[in-house]
Amino acid sequence: MLFNALALISLIASVGAIPKPTVGRAIVTNQCDAPIYLWHVGGSIGPQNKISKDTSYSEMFVRDPASGGIALKMTNVEDGLFKPNVSQTIFAYNLDGSTIWYDMSDIFGHGFAGRTMTLKPTESSCESINWWGGKPDGSSQIKNCVATTDLELTFCPNHCLPSWYPCGDAAPGDYRPCCTHCIGSHHCVAAP
């Protein structure tokens, strides 16, 4: 009986001593109606991941032995990474010991223009990156934080409607706000 009680106390103590992860995660969440296509790119290109509405992609921070940093490349077109001139949004991170460096950029245009995007660390003392109209605002996008934080990039936070979507009187029963604003109770305005 004493042995069983000691074993139970030991089990409870060991469960309470589960170590915290030493690195966080890169998370991409899609709250838009249209899918997002994502590839993990380091020294090689990973498979395409389709992120449908209200789903997420997640990976633990890693350091690539060939490239060092990792780029999560996203398009709004299936197989877009391998098609000419398809716009890509890039969420890049670089694990450097106990620090995670992160930034966002676009190449070949702004394929997600009109969709608000927020890259938010779970560590409240670290800086977010916000693309209110789906495009960078021109300021430096390079930030850093403790490597134990999670970094979540959310497309259309709170399910906001991208530009040109019907809103107001043109969308009866759909009370979601526009990512920018509704013009003339007809459609969401384009990103500036």
Give me the count of residues in the chain: 192
State the residue range of the domain holding 178.
Answer: 161-192
150 and 187, same domain (yes or no) = no
131 is a domain residue = yes
Q: Rounded mean pLDDT of 25-44?
A: 96
72 and 141, same domain (yes or no) = yes
CB 40 within 8 A of CB 92: no
13 is a domain residue = no
**What's the CATH code of the domain at 90?**
2.60.110.10
1 is a domain residue = no
Question: How far apart are the C-alpha atoms of 46 and 44, rounded to whole Å?
Answer: 7
How many independent structural domains does the chain possess? 2
Q: Rounded mean pLDDT of 13-22?
A: 57
Report the chain's mean pLDDT, rounded to a whole number.
Answer: 88
At 87, the pLDDT band (50, 70, 90 cuts) reads very high
Question: How far apart are the C-alpha atoms of 106 and 83, rounded to whole Å?
Answer: 16
Give 88-111 pLDDT, tens digit per residue: 999 999 999 999 999 999 999 999
Question: How far apart are the C-alpha atoms of 82 and 87, rounded to whole Å?
Answer: 11
126 is a domain residue = yes
84 is a domain residue = yes
Predicted TM-score (pTM) of the model is 0.85
111 and 183, same domain (yes or no) = no
170 and 111, same domain (yes or no) = no
41 and 132, same domain (yes or no) = yes
Cβ partners under 8 Å of residue 51, min gap 6: 28, 29, 30, 35, 36, 37, 38, 57
129 and 117, same domain (yes or no) = yes
Q: What are the tokens at 47?
A: 């498979």
